[in-house]
Chain A
Amino acid sequence: MANTPDYHWPPMDQRKVIGTSPKRLDGPVKSSGRAKYTSDLKPQGMLFGAYLISPHAHAKVTSIDTSVAEKLPGVKSVYVAAPAGTEMQYQGWEVAAVAATTEEIAREATRKIKVEYEVLPHFVKDEDLASAGANAKQGGERLVGDPDKAFADAEAVSEGHYGIPVVTHCCLEPHGQVIQWMGDSINVWPSTQNVPGYAGDLSQRLQVPATNIKVKMDYIGGGFGSKFNPDAWAIVGANLSKNAGGRPVKLYLERNAEQMIGGNRPSAYAKIKLGGKKDGTITAWQTDSWGTGGFQAVSPGQQPYVFTNLPNIREVRTAVSVNAGTQRAWRAPGNQQASYLTCCAIEDYAHKIGMDPIEVFKLNAQYAPTARIETYRYQLDKAAELADWKKLWRPRGQNGSGPVKRGLGVAIAAWGGAGHAGKARAVINPDGSVAIETGTQDLGTGTRTIITQVAAETFGLPMSQIKLSIGTSELPADGGSGGSSTVGAVSTTTRKSSMNALAKLYEVVAPSLGAQPEELEAVDGHVRVKGSPNKSLTWQAACRKLGSTQIAEMGENVPRSAQAEGLNTQGAAGVQIADVSVDTETGIVKINRYVAVQDCGLVINPKLAESQVFGAIIMGIGTALFEERIMDAQTGRVLNPDMEFYKLAGIADIGNLVVHMDIRPENDKRGVIGLGEPPAIPICAAVGNAVTNAIGVRVPTIPMTPDHVLAALEGRIG
């Protein structure tokens, strides 16, 4: 190629498709029920799988007898996942599985497997660090500056304790897959966030060459960070299939197992002390935090959140191990917890010195990473404006005359969101048809739509003329959809592969337009000479010049060089404000209005971007008001592994949402930044602060349920 094309995004005012909001391409098939999720599939000869899971929080399998189950008519294969001797560390641990001709027979058969357990002592409660004993493990100590001196010199000191419990992902489509293992090849239809990485991982665990593993997924019913790898159920399902002579087996977790072992968000509890000046400047920060991520303990993230450049910090972090299912990434892992602890502690400090918390956040934005300081200040003002903060905010407990009090609370978020490594192929056919092929997946975020928009913009064609293929392992590999890294990656790979393909086309077409290839552009369905619009060919005519030779060009996103290239980058900021009403006689919290201001660089489709923010807030309000995994200390069991007492928000609980995408030239010029996670971060903190502002006392522990709110009001907590 003569010259590397100029990949840069077209200037804001010259974009035709990027920056507009066409409807999502998967909307009609999803809303009409025609979209096939992998859990809807039923390939020829498919068997139904069912799991037997451990009823105990901690136990050893002493014997297991599957003979009766095997003889049940309709049972085609039985697999023991926990042979005698296995020590199981939580309720829900996979013991055995059955594949049978019907779901009912498979379930029935699991009940006929005889297992004897030696029940061992368990520990499942993480709220009280003092009771954790040997289950508590030092997770790290950190000292910055001289906190002792800073606290001694402080004009004001505030102290508080805060807690945010374990919640689960509650994917409506549970974890699982349909899988078929025949000879040395595997076909798998998983519910996964990581189509491209799936085969490689599975190949190592099953000793089948990755080239013989075909992975396909068109639609996923929620992942939220919990569906990256082929889990135990893929291995178990594959073995069931193999033992059944290669018939495909469908093995999905039942709802109770989904809630127990399908992943969860770790808890975080902390005692926090802040010192500072009367003008609102924070000078000293001390945190003792702990939390649990299940049996494999993880400690809460670093404090303070966002205000990382504070001069004097002391923190001790502790990881508590409990006999409960293992944590997985949950929409911005670690960040909701960190935001909750930090933003509540700052609100308490603002209250202590009698200042408006927005002012305290703005002042201390000086401690945020340098590049983001002004963005936070701008967003704090913008959010305050959209929430009528100046008019509606009052000091604690002074807003409302009857039993119902109003409160406003603010919180902030930070996220990376750079594109992951990935590849796409752009194809131009002599008949003018255009295809983009990339092995990514659309989690429901709108990836299909985004890719098509970028390709349409680049080729100067309508979106309907772009054929897109995603979701299989046979396409050029993209990355897993985690860390909000997909939009940066696919927009870049699509842009680059499309530009590379166009460059090839220009080489063929240039002579007939009497121009050099690099003088050409593709606009409005034409290939034309820049600056001389009358020297042009229709797209169709231009492509016919290819004769019988198809163009197929790759485009790659290389994270190391992406920053310099300017198509995608990282570093998103967001500010959110909750406006709530609290019935102080019943402790019931209602959301009046919820404001989110979010930047994510160049926004390809504002409506889809807003949808991500809406979705994140809806999910977040559920966690702020209702959700918690309830563990029973005496039995070690999860008491609410269902959708009844694991309470999710319904649409009537959400209130009025106001989303403002922070689209400004200074953000746009940074390139594309991921968005799925950052807006999910501040909600517990904003709601917690709003409830506290309404009722006049800190409600330390999420969720903001009547028992927690009334306990705070009635002084039943310290």
Chain B
Amino acid sequence: MQSFEYANPATVQEAVGLLGARWGQADVLAGGTDLLSLMKEHLHEPKRLVNIKNIKELEGIQKTASGLRIGALVTMDELAKNAEVHAAYQSLAEAAAGIPSPQIRHMGTVGGDLCQRPRCWYYRQGFGLFAMKDGKSLIPEGENKYHAIFGGGPAYFVSASSLGPALVSLGARVKLVSAKGTREVPVAKFFVTPASEAAREIALQPNEILTEIIVPAAAVHTATYEVRQKEALDWPLAAASVALTMNGRTVTSAKVVLGHVAPTPWEATGAEAALKGKTITADTAEAAGKAAVLGATPLSQNAYKVTLAKVAVKRALMEAVKTAKA
């Protein structure tokens, strides 16, 4: 990796003062589970690393009047084991618990999970975010079995964050702080499909730090279902997070968000419409799964992910109503 300057601020204010106006000047270092690999591969070559692990105000999970505040430095392990999260946000706890290997859950932070870079193997092998060669994307005719089935390019990578879909389905927001001030962005708008290779897949600006996640109080039944092939050190092939508002056994409104199938968490509005006013049964869950993948545009090697997304929605719904009965 490239040599770099290392800064160790103790407050957010100090930290944001150390960031740059452009990507490449400085990178925020949290658990380092992604950033160090990016640096070793020369995919990120920051001149300065701003370590935020010593900033106390970024820690902790608190229940507030309007919901839950999760500090950016909360580890995946803390999130998965937190009693409040378990009680009220099943889908989030499941998404965090699904992230493989105790080591990564203990080192990786929620801020880092939302800000991590795509795992697309063309990107990781140095072909850039859109994997362009001679003006053409390598992905449609290349090795695309782990790539997007929604979005239609030119960004074909899938959003890596497992927390993303759960947070979008819960209507969560993130707080972004820069030297100029603070803004709040819905997680649904935090993930973006980059318009160009030079852009990022998140709305974070180079001079900002993600300080916390705010999850509104949920009167909903939630679940996350991930299709994972291996038990450890692996990524979901497809996932679905659902959040249902119910009146008795009837769904009054539904959020269905797919993971690992598009450059962002993918809101399956078709499924949401299909569920409204319905009781969740094996049949309605199946129908919602089908509705969720309408309009999918699989590539040469990933038609199977359409099946997996469908199944993930069905199984997440069945699980969410299991908690509804309890």
- Which A residues form the contact surface with B (CB < 8 A)? 104, 585-588, 625-626, 630-635, 637, 639-640, 642-645, 647, 649-653, 705-707, 710-711, 714, 716
Contact = CB atoms under 8 A, between A and B. Distances in A.
Contacts of A653: 230-232
Interface string B112-142: 0000000101101101000001000010011
A626 B311 contact: no
Given A634-B141, A645-B121, A711-B304, A650 B133 contact: no
A632 B311 contact: no
B253 interface: no
B229 A639 contact: no
Given A585-B311, A630-B121, A707-B301, 16 more contacts: A585-B307, A586-B311, A587-B307, A588-B227, A588-B229, A626-B229, A632-B138, A633-B142, A639-B121, A650-B230, A653-B230, A705-B229, A707-B145, A711-B303, A711-B304, A714-B304
A630 B138 CA distance: 14
B3 to A, nearest CB: 8
Contact of B227 (A586, A643, A716): A586
B162 to A, nearest CB: 15
7 contacts: A586-B308, A586-B311, A587-B304, A631-B143, A649-B230, A706-B227, A711-B304
A645 to B, nearest CB: 6
A587 B3 CA distance: 45
Nearest to A711: B304
B195 interface: no
B166 interface: no
Contact of A630 (B3, B143, B230, B237): B143
A650 B229 CA distance: 11
B197 interface: no
Say what secondary structure dominates the interface of chain A: loop
Contacts of A625: 229
A585 B309 CA distance: 11
B308 A706 contact: yes
Interface residues of B, number: 31
Contact of B234 (A632, A633, A647, A651): A647
A635 B308 contact: no
Interface string B1-19: 1010000000000000000
A651 B232 CA distance: 9
A89 B124 CA distance: 23
A706 B141 CA distance: 20
Contacts of A626: 229-230
A635 to B, nearest CB: 7
A652 B228 CA distance: 13
Nearest to B228: A588
A115 B142 CA distance: 27
A639 B120 CA distance: 10
A649 B121 CA distance: 20
* A-B pairs, 8 with minimum CB distance: A652-B231, A650-B232, A710-B304, A639-B121, A707-B304, A585-B311, A586-B227, A653-B231
Name the residue among A587, A640, A649 with the largest chain B CB count within 10 angstroms. Answer: A587
B121 A640 contact: yes
B87 interface: no
Contacts of B145: 707
Interface string B285-326: 000000000000000011110011001000000000000000
A639 B142 CA distance: 10
B206 to A, nearest CB: 25
B121 A716 contact: no
Given A588-B227, A634-B133, A644-B233, A710 B307 contact: yes
A637 B307 contact: no
A642 B126 CA distance: 14
Interface string B228-251: 111111100100000000000000
Contact of B232 (A587, A645, A652, A707): A652
A642 B119 CA distance: 12
B11 to A, nearest CB: 31
A716 B232 CA distance: 29
Interface string B134-165: 00001001110110000000000000000000
Contact of A647 (B127, B230, B301, B307): B230
Contacts of B234: 647
A542 B82 CA distance: 71
A714 B229 CA distance: 19
A635 B133 CA distance: 9
Nearest to A642: B124
A711 B300 CA distance: 12
Contact of A632 (B119, B143, B228, B233): B143
A402 to B, nearest CB: 11
Contacts of A642: 124
B7 to A, nearest CB: 20
A711 B229 CA distance: 16
A642 B237 CA distance: 18
B232 A639 contact: no
Contacts of A586: 227, 307-308, 311
A50 to B, nearest CB: 13
B122 A639 contact: yes
